[in-house]
Chain A
Amino acid sequence: MPADGTLAVPAPRAARSPNVSGLERLARRRSTIAFLMTLPLLLIIGGLVVYPFFYAMYLSTLNRTMVRNIGLENYAILLDTDTFWMVIWQSCLFAISAVLLKALIGFVLAHHLHHLPAKGQRKWRGMLLVPWVIPPALSTLGWWWMFDPSYSSINWLLNVFAVPSVPWLGEPWWARISVIIVNVWYGAPFFMIMYLAALKSVPDQLYEAAAIDGATGWQGLRYVTLPMMRNIISITVLFSLIVTFANYDIVRVLTNGGPRDLTHLFATYAFQVGILSGNVPRGAAVSLFMFPLLALFAFFMLRGVTQRNKEQA
């Protein structure tokens, strides 16, 4: 191989004469190279994720002007306000209902898609994935316009069917529902595509065996499909819980927290307190309130992923 001859470097020579120091040097060189290769990654993770995290903890113990350490007072003050309790409650309501709906719609869509002939499947999949492709901040603008109080095109359609107009973003409960609708619209395709990939990996023989044993379609779904997909379902749901819980774009564009701060999530409230009102330490405290739950979700998700990797290995 003359072309590869040019690649020859000291390495093979060291391998040919197996003296201890040479091998040692090789090993050292290998780990040095590996370290250098991962160094940029370490710098990014260390400098822009780990350090900011501890810095956030430190920040959250300062007073508003950031000159005095006030311990946990920011947290205590937050827990004393009704608005913050509302934020906690609204974040949980938003994340849980949106994720459940996304998971359900995604599953049913994937299930139906899976039954189509392969050629048509591609086309449908392409269409159904569109909400996921448009940057959410921009598609939410479209939703905002569809929810507009006087020009709402959704209300126009409702009126055609003799349903009275809905004050989408004006009433607290409708505003909450609107935010959830948009999030479900944006996120359901993701569940669909994850489930579809999982459905394709269930071997056909299992269904054939079930059919021979006289299983109905429902039983096949209940005793073959769901158990086979359990792992991917839990991974997807946990993952979605994390990002939905920490969602920012939709509320910011659609309601900006209103009416009367009743649709704020942790992220939008942290933004309002920390950046718009300039109370950086308290904003940091609001964000950090998300951490325990996120850590819990992340722990279970990591366990699921490791399990899955082991099963597949």
Chain B
Amino acid sequence: MSATVSTPGSVGGGIGRKTGSLHKERRWALVSAYVFLVVFAVLFLAPPVYMFITSFKGSAEVANLQGSPWMIRNPTLENYTAILGDRMFLRFFLNSAIITALVVFITMVVSTLAAFALARMRFWGSQVLATGVFLTYLVPETLLFIPLYQIVGGLGLLNSIWGLVLVYPTLTVPFCTWIMIGYFASIPKELDEAALIDGANWMQMLTRIFIPVAMPGIIAATIFAFTVSWAAFVYPTAFVTTPDAMPLTIGVVSQLVRADTFAWGQIMAGSLLAALPPVVIYALLMDYYIAGLTAGATKG
């Protein structure tokens, strides 16, 4: 993005030389754009900001109905120390980390191999299979969670993180394969011809040419796999009922939120901590993230 900066200064100079009405029109467009964007930025950021505010309040202050709930009077870290000292919460974090790491690894291996074969090695049915991959991506998890519940149960993997590691790839593999097919297909044919002439076999072609050249696509797919398996909610809700095997999402929603005593400060602190890894990745790799998103439409 930053490469395309046409420097606001020169744009401004251009506006100055335009005729009055056009000048006014553009200026008005810019002002209205800013007003609009400010309003929506406030609306979009209000919930996380309010979660942040609440997470620094003690329970007495949360329960206090006097004054603005949007202000913190006695900021405290007690929610964070409590939640980070909670063995159960740490267990959720660990579970999420293990599941996500394994699922990302499985996804990338499976989808890179498949995308390479589908993009480059035309074989019987490869076209149909590529379409099939796209269609599987469109199958929402809520369509199949009941038969999968029976299947996972039949394998004895309910209430275990392994059941989740088994089913999560259905959420990540189709999309990752789909966008990698796109990235691989955009690599010029001359490159693999050159490699073949130099005597490379298919595997070497993949690891020495395709993966390095399609690195942005691979990063985008990895980020996608990471965010999807970190945020997955339907499958863990259905397959896991024991706190020991819960990943963060369902752990925070079902275990921190307990019947009558709502420890709101702690719930918010836990939610924010749980949301931290995807947010950090997003902050660091925004351009890859967006590239992956727009490459083929992410879920949402």
Contact = CB atoms under 8 A, between A and B. Distances in A.
A116 B120 CA distance: 40
A185 B147 contact: no
Contact of B37 (A112, A236, A287, A297): A112
Interface residues of B, number: 112
A226 interface: no
A194 to B, nearest CB: 6
Given A118-B4, A185-B47, A56 B146 contact: yes
A193 B201 contact: no
Interface of A: 1, 4, 7-9, 11-12, 30-31, 33-35, 37-38, 40-42, 44-45, 48-49, 51-53, 55-56, 59, 105, 108-109, 112-113, 115-122, 124-139, 141-143, 145-146, 150-151, 153, 156-157, 185-190, 193-194, 197, 217, 235-236, 239-240, 242-243, 245-249, 252-253, 266-267, 270-271, 274-275, 280, 283-284, 287-288, 290-291, 294, 297-298, 301-302, 305
A116 B36 CA distance: 12
Given A40-B114, A128-B44, A284-B147, A145 B124 contact: no
Most buried by B among A117, A127, A252: A117
A283 B142 CA distance: 11
Given A128-B40, A239-B297, 9 more contacts: A35-B117, A41-B177, A135-B249, A151-B63, A235-B297, A236-B297, A248-B142, A280-B150, A301-B138
B205 to A, nearest CB: 10
B133 interface: yes
B282 A133 contact: yes
B111 A53 contact: no
A244 to B, nearest CB: 8
Interface string B181-204: 000000000000000111111101
Given A134-B48, A185-B44, A37 B117 contact: yes
B29 interface: yes
B215 interface: no
21 contacts: A30-B121, A40-B110, A41-B133, A109-B36, A112-B37, A118-B5, A119-B2, A133-B227, A134-B48, A146-B47, A151-B63, A190-B298, A194-B297, A248-B234, A249-B234, A270-B142, A274-B146, A287-B143, A287-B144, A298-B135, A302-B134
B142 A31 contact: no
Nearest to B46: A146
Contacts of A48: 148, 151, 166-167, 169-170
Kindly name the residue among A49, A112, A128, A137 whose own CB sees the greatest number of chain B CB atoms within 10 A: A137
Contact of A118 (B6, B37, B62, B113): B6
Given A240-B300, A266-B142, A287-B144, A141 B253 contact: yes
A34 B123 contact: yes
B32 A112 contact: yes
Given A126-B286, A287-B144, A9 B6 contact: no
Contacts of B118: 38
Contacts of A305: 134
B147 A243 contact: no
Interface of B: 1-2, 4-8, 11, 25, 29-30, 32-34, 36-37, 40-41, 43-48, 50-51, 54, 62-63, 65, 68-70, 109-111, 113-114, 116-118, 121, 123-124, 126, 129, 131-136, 138-151, 166-167, 169-170, 173-174, 177, 196-202, 204, 227, 230-231, 233-234, 237-238, 249-250, 252-253, 257, 264, 267-268, 271-272, 274-275, 278-279, 282-283, 286, 290, 293-294, 297-300
B121 A252 contact: no
B133 A142 contact: no
A110 to B, nearest CB: 11
A113 B290 CA distance: 15
B144 A53 contact: yes
